[in-house]
Structure formats: structure tokens, C-alpha cells
Amino acid sequence: MTTGGSVGEDWPVASTDPTPTTPQPGEVVRIDAGGWGWTWAADTRGRLHQVGLGLDGAGAPVEVDPIWYPDAHPTWGGPDPFRPPALRITHAEGTTTTRLRLDGVERQPLGDDELVTVRTVDEVFALRVAFRTRTHRDSGVLEQWVEIDHDEDGPVTLWDYDSIAPALLIGPDARMTQFGGAGWADEWAWTTERLTPGTKVLDSLGGIQPHLQRSPMLLVEPNGPVDEASGDVIGCSIAWGGNTRFALDVRPRANDEARDLRLRAGANPLGAHYVLDPGTIFVTPTVAWTWSTGRGELSDRFHRWTRARVLRDPDRTRPIVVNNWESTFFAFDEQRIVGLIDRSASLGADLFLLDDGWFGTSSPRDDDTAGLGDWEPDRRKLPGGLPTLVDAAADRGIRFGIWVEPEMVNPDSDLFRAHPDWVVRDRREPREHRNQLALDPLIDEVRDFEVGVVDRVLGAAAGTSYIKWDANRPVTDPGSSALPADRQSNAWVDWVHATWEVMQRVADGHPDIELMLCASGGGRTDHGTLRWFHEFWTSDNTDPVTRVRMQWACGHWFPASAMAAHVTAWGGRPLPFACAVALSGRFGFDLDLDALDDESLAICRQAVTTARRTQDLVQHGRLVRLVSPVDGPDRSRAALGFVAPGRERAVVFCYQLDDPVSPPPVLRITGLDPAADYRVQTTDLQGAPDDLGILSGADLAGGALPWRPDRRTSASILELTTPG
């Protein structure tokens, strides 16, 4: 039995193979992760040490007795009493220390890759810890996690259970970048700071939508500032749909500028100590990480790995979506929606997405106070039910999608009246958040109900081909009636596995339905949860000025095909600028199309036409970042491009976000074929494109094109094609 494990197809599942292997004295374990790697070696007592890490890490020579190298994975009570541990366990009989010795190494070939398991056992207790890595050498991203099990005389308690804990020697200018802001509508805020002595903890809380506060990703520049093409940069992503934690323990070295960094990453154990029974395997979240030269390579790697391992149907070009949320909120009827469907079709969109507010009978969903949980169409608003809308879309040649929030319930609902005991709660009265409560997925009937919500909605709206899955509140009363009193803190981990089980059942049950992941915006943008989805709603903040910076940050980890970006009225920015920003993500609209004048409609039409020409590049091409809106003294501009795999075409987006504070930058378009000639056309989505002539890839990389957007909140889109 396992605690759930990672349930994605061919993602880590706890190994139950007890094959005994015999470690050799001084055993050396080398992980070649594809362009970088690490080496561990056992000392004479079998304790593991990290001998090497980095670009040459897999080949690091063992130059002295391994005992002189840092611990491979520090435990409480291990050799270094001055540092926080990555693993802290109270054993069944009360001992609080853990000391591990090597018990065996297994290498399982997977084509050109490997699944490597380094098995250890406590020196005294019948407790085993397996360190597991799965290479992806074509992308250079390494998946790493830890498994713990035991045969002690009762349960043990896991207090800290990080997935990785590498040791690094860092320079005085070492930096890190975190991605988190004020919460809702402020996701992906970019903060870079120097690493200084002490422990810095970057965590997320909230359980259901923790990544609203902080995305589970981190950049570390161990030797000081890097740029797109040069400098050592480590990228880590915690593939976990719950609370996460990065901890950076920095310790100075006496009389030396260099410092020691221990980087720990994994699930956030705050309030979530795990009581583990004998015979059960606890699997930590997978951390995906890489060591790159420059941020550009880092993104290339994460994009390749995300496409290969995470995103569903990565090669399928995503539709152009029109969503009604910001134009109607809860106030609509059939006529209004059919009108919007009509407008969407005439604009050239692919899909109309009906958002919140379509359901609820005895407790109609006229606002966020009622109806959640009652997934029957509200016949007052939609007398023909959902089929009328699906048919209206089909009659106009577009697809239909629908919003659900299967994990939630309003107290004012038939569902809650029938099952008040189904909600997440402890012994107190549960607190409402957005007037709703969360259903407890550890209750078997709840998981069946949640899967059934999607089945029922799709059954009632045959022909629907897209679902937006939302989750609009955090956990505030952590407790579960499905767990005994002494296991309440296990809920934080178990909830993630239970929710992933529901998502997997939905994805498996409806393989042809495209799924968008949303949690009050980007509250669930992690590589673990995304495995059952095609894309995510990047943020509710669609002000294009903010969005450029958010998409810039998010684009370090995810390809643009995953980042839904809709044109809205947020921020009151010029429409061509708003369209140009959305065009660099998975393009769509959340505008009141009925209210647009002819001029605005013409701009939207031109944006759709541009999307048709460029979306294969944006979604499947190689991202090149050219002018940064988050680094340096002048953050008033941004430019990024997408280059076709064969480099025969590219599209470049240039944004002037604010009043400039310095002269225009030199636009150096990287990633092109220097020997090829490119015809360059530019558009600001207001009239025919301008032909800028033919320039070589070398000239374009050298800065031959001037910066064009000439005023704040304006954009220029450059399309580059090799003639013939």
C-alpha cells in the first residue's frame, strides 16, 4: 500500500520491489541528467555525501574520503547539527533522529534514460528511505523524489520531507528569483534578490489554491547575475498541487567570499506532519529541476519537458476561445448567450466558453452566494437547457465549452442540505470563503460525486468539447471526517492525492474533452496538477500591462500553449495593445462582443486573423526573450518571439508598457538562422501590415530593426518569413 503516490501515467509510483542489492564500500552514484548531473558517494559507514553537482557534476572525481563532502540529504541527527534537515522523523518508540546508510542502488534503463533508486536504511530502526531520480536527457530536466517506508512497532511521524536538498557553493553575488505577489490577481510577480546568510523560506499555503500566493518555482543563480544566453542558473519546479516550500539555508565560510547553500524543496510540512503506518510507502512530490547556461536554455528545457511529460495533447493547437465571464458575470439569459455565440462565430473564434452562473434550481446561481453543487441548468435563464447552447454553437460552426467547480458547495444549495457532512472541516463551524465550502475529497462518495459532476454536465450537454475546472477558495478549517483523530494533519498531503485521483478519472473518462485548469486564476499552476489538463487560466488579472510581466515570468516554465490569455477591458488599455498581449499566449477574448463598435470589432477581427497566422509559432515554436520587463533599470518595455522549429518563420511581439525611461533598446532577434533571409512585416492590428523588406537572420540578430512601439501601451507584432 502507498500513501497515494503520484498518479499520472508513468510518473513516479512507489516502488514495492524489495530486490536486495549489495552496496560496495565507497559506492559512487552518478546521475547524468543530460548536460548536467550530480554524484553521490558513500563513506565507510555507508553514509551518503554529495561529491559533485552542476554541468560536470555527473563526472565529479571523488578526490578525498567522501566523509569530507556535504551530506547528500541531511537528516535530523545527521552529521551536521547546525543545519535544518531535509528529513525529520519521530520513530515509533520516540527517537527523533534518523541516520541513514546505503542499502543498495538500482538502475532501471528507460530507453536513453534511467530510473535510479538509491536505497538507504536507518542505522538502528527498520525504516527505509529511497532517493529516486528519473532522467530526461533530451530536455535536461531531472525528476527527483523520496520514498519512505518502515516496519517499526507502530506509526512514525514525518515532520520534514523535502524531495531534494542539494548543497552548493555560491558566490557573493548569488541570487534567486521567486514568483509570487499579493495573492489573487497578483500571481507570478517577479522578485530577484541576493542570497544572504540565514535561512530564507519561500512557501505557499491555502491547500487548494496555494499558487495564488507563490508559484512553486524558483531560479537560483549561484555565481551571480545571468542573462538569457550565459551564466549558471538552476531552475526547480515542485510538481505539487498543495502547499509547497523552498528553503535556502545560506552559511558563510570563514574568511572566504564563497558561501554554502543548502537548497531544500518539496511539500510544505507546516501543519502537515504525516503519521505513517508500517507497511505504507510515503511518496514525496516530484521536484523537476535543471542546471542551465542562461535562462533561455532553462526555459527551452522546461518547455520540452512540459510538452513531453505534463501537458495533455501538447501538439494539438489550442482553440481561440471566447469566454463570457467578464462581459456578463452571473447576469445572462439564453438570448444573451446565443447572441455572444453568434458574435464569437462571426469574429472567427473556435469555441465559446460559458462561465459560472448557468446552474442552480432551488438555489439559483445569480451570484456567488448560492447554487454551487447543484449542477442542473437554471431554466429561468436557460429555458432550453444546455443543448440549445451547444446546438447554437454547432449551427454557427464553433465548439462549446462550459465552466464547473466540482470540488465546492454553497451552504445555500440542495447538495449541502442533503450532505452537510461532506465538507472540509474540523470540530469548529467551517468558515465560508467566497460564500462557499470545499468538499472533502477524502470521503469516497465525494470523489465519486465530483467525477459525476463532469459526467453529468457532459451528458446533459452532449457535443461539449471543453471544460474550465475552477476552484475558488482555500482550505481554512483543515480537518477530515475521513481520517481518525490522530491523523488529521495527514489531510494536507492526502487531499492532493485524492484530488489528483478525481482529475485523473475525469481525464481518463473523457479523453477527447479539452480541460482548462483554473483556481481563482492561477492558483493551481504546478507541473503535477497540470498533467490532466491542456492549459491553465494564468491569472484573473488581464490588465495587459501586468499580463506582459506575468506571462514573461510564467513563460520561463510553461510553453505559451498552456497559458490562456484573453483580451478583456481590464485596465482600460487600448484594444490593439490588449490584443497584441493576448496573442503571445493561448489567445482568446473575454470582452462584451455585443458592446463593441465597428472599429473595435475590426481590431478584434484582425487579431483573430493574426492569431490564425501565428498561433502555431506561439504554441509550438521556440520562445526567445529579447527585451525584459522585469530586469534592469528600465522595465517599461518587453519583447519576445517564437521561432519555428526549422527557423523558417518567426513572430516577435514588442510592447511599450509605460512611458520610456531610457532611449529605445536595440532589438536583437535571436534564435533565427543567421544565413537565411527573412521578409519582415509588422502590424499594430490597425490596418494592413507594413512591409519592412528583407533582412538576414544575422542582421536581425545584430539589431537591424529599430524599436517601433512609440508610445505607452502600444505594441508592434513582427512576422518573419523566409521567402519561398
CB-nearer residue toward ligand DGJ: 282 or 537: 537
CB-nearer residue toward ligand DGJ: 242 or 521: 521
Tell me how far apart the alpha carbons of residues 317 and 615 are, in angstroms, rounded to a whole number. 8
Tell me how far apart the alpha carbons of residues 674 and 503 are, in angstroms, rounded to a whole number. 45
Find the shortest distance in angstroms from Cβ 279 to ligand DGJ. Answer: 42
By CB under 6 A, name the one of 50, 139, 472, 716 that touches ligand DGJ: 472
Tell me how far apart the alpha carbons of residues 378 and 388 are, in angstroms, rounded to a whole number. 13
List the grid coordinates of 314: 501538447
DSSP string for residues in 239-284: E-SS-EEEEEEEEE-TT-S-EEEEEEEEE--TT--EEE-TT-BEEP
Cβ atoms of 698 and 644 closer than 8 Å: no
Cβ contacts of 420 within 8 Å, gap of 6 or more: none
| 356 in contact with ligand DGJ (CB under 6 A) | yes
CB-nearer residue toward ligand DGJ: 75 or 327: 327
Cβ atoms of 652 and 641 closer than 8 Å: yes
80 to 119, contacts with ligand DGJ by CB under 6 A? none
Cβ atoms of 143 and 288 closer than 8 Å: yes
CB-nearer residue toward ligand DGJ: 63 or 432: 432
Using CB under 6 A as the binding criterion, the count of chain residues that bind ligand DGJ stands at: 11
Burial grade of 79 (CB within 10 A; 0-12, 13-18, 19 or more): middle
| 374 in contact with ligand DGJ (CB under 6 A) | no
User: ∠ CA 311-316-322 to the nearest 5 degrees?
Assistant: 95
CB-nearer residue toward ligand DGJ: 226 or 519: 519
| 208 in contact with ligand DGJ (CB under 6 A) | no
Find the shortest distance in angstroms from Cβ 472 to ligand DGJ. Answer: 5
CA distance to 325, 332, 392, 457, 461, per residue, from 380 (Å):
19, 10, 18, 18, 17
Burial grade of 82 (CB within 10 A; 0-12, 13-18, 19 or more): exposed
CB-nearer residue toward ligand DGJ: 288 or 530: 530
What are the E-state strand segments in 111-206?
Answer: 113-122, 127-134, 142-150, 156-164, 167-170, 175-179, 190-194, 198-203
By CB under 6 A, name the one of 103, 186, 297, 470 that touches ligand DGJ: 470
Burial annotation 445-480 (CB, 10 A radius, 16+ → b, else e): ebbebbbbbbeebbebbeebbbbbbbbbbbbbbbbb
Q: Which residue is nearest to ligand DGJ (CB)?
A: 356
Binding map of ligand DGJ across residues 520-559, x = CB under 6 A, - = no contact? xx---------------x--x-------------------
CB-nearer residue toward ligand DGJ: 180 or 665: 180
Torsion of CA 177, 557, 202, 276, to 10 degrees: -150
Written as one letter, the residue type at 487 is: R
Q: What are phi and psi of 225, to 5 degrees?
A: -55, 140
Tell me how far apart the alpha carbons of residues 154 and 149 are, in angstroms, rounded to a whole number. 12
Q: Which stretch binds ligand DGJ (CB under 6 A): 226-234, 251-259, 342-350, 514-522?
A: 514-522
How does DSSP classify residue 396?
A: T
Find the shortest distance in angstroms from Cβ 566 to ligand DGJ. Answer: 9
Q: Which stretch binds ligand DGJ (CB under 6 A): 4-12, 100-108, 437-445, 515-523?
A: 515-523
Find the shortest distance in angstroms from Cβ 184 to ligand DGJ. Answer: 9
CB-nearer residue toward ligand DGJ: 168 or 402: 402
614 closest CA partner among 579, 575, 578: 579
Find the shortest distance in angstroms from Cβ 391 to ligand DGJ. Answer: 24
233 to 272, contacts with ligand DGJ by CB under 6 A? none
**Element holding 599 (H helix, E strand):** helix 598-620
By CB under 6 A, name the one of 467, 518, 567, 685 that touches ligand DGJ: 518
Find the shortest distance in angstroms from Cβ 329 to ligand DGJ. Answer: 8
Q: Which stretch binds ligand DGJ (CB under 6 A): 3-11, 253-261, 451-459, 513-521?
A: 513-521
Burial annotation 701-713 (CB, 10 A radius, 16+ → b, else e): beebbebbbeebb
CB-nearer residue toward ligand DGJ: 290 or 551: 551
CB-nearer residue toward ligand DGJ: 407 or 540: 540
Cβ contacts of 700 within 8 Å, gap of 6 or more: 668, 669, 672, 678, 680, 720
Find the shortest distance in angstroms from Cβ 467 to ligand DGJ. Answer: 12
Find the shortest distance in angstroms from Cβ 418 to ligand DGJ. Answer: 23
Binding map of ligand DGJ across residues 419-458, x = CB under 6 A, - = no contact? ----------------------------------------
Written as one letter, the residue type at 454 is: V
Binding map of ligand DGJ across residues 380-419, x = CB under 6 A, - = no contact? -----------------------x----------------
Q: Which stretch binds ligand DGJ (CB under 6 A): 168-176, 195-203, 517-525, 681-689?
A: 517-525
By CB under 6 A, name the one of 161, 291, 325, 533 that touches ligand DGJ: 325
Beta pairing partners, 655: 638, 715
CB-nearer residue toward ligand DGJ: 403 or 416: 403
CB-nearer residue toward ligand DGJ: 368 or 648: 368
Find the shortest distance in angstroms from Cβ 616 to ligand DGJ. Answer: 26
Find the shortest distance in angstroms from Cβ 330 to ligand DGJ. Answer: 8
Find the shortest distance in angstroms from Cβ 163 to ligand DGJ. Answer: 29
Cβ atoms of 434 and 473 closer than 8 Å: yes
| 378 in contact with ligand DGJ (CB under 6 A) | no
Cβ atoms of 626 and 653 closer than 8 Å: no
Tell me how far apart the alpha carbons of residues 429 and 369 are, in angstroms, rounded to a whole number. 18
Find the shortest distance in angstroms from Cβ 452 to ligand DGJ. Answer: 21
Sheet holding 28-32, edge to edge: 28-32, 37-42, 48-54
Q: What are phi and psi of 114, to 5 degrees?
A: -145, 145
| 355 in contact with ligand DGJ (CB under 6 A) | yes
Find the shortest distance in angstroms from Cβ 312 to ligand DGJ. Answer: 20
CB-nearer residue toward ligand DGJ: 399 or 473: 473
Q: Which stretch binds ligand DGJ (CB under 6 A): 132-140, 144-152, 156-164, 516-524?
A: 516-524
CB-nearer residue toward ligand DGJ: 47 or 534: 534
CB-nearer residue toward ligand DGJ: 471 or 580: 471
Find the shortest distance in angstroms from Cβ 339 to ligand DGJ. Answer: 20
Q: Which residues bind ligand DGJ (CB under 6 A)?
A: 325, 355-356, 403, 470, 472, 518, 520-521, 537, 540
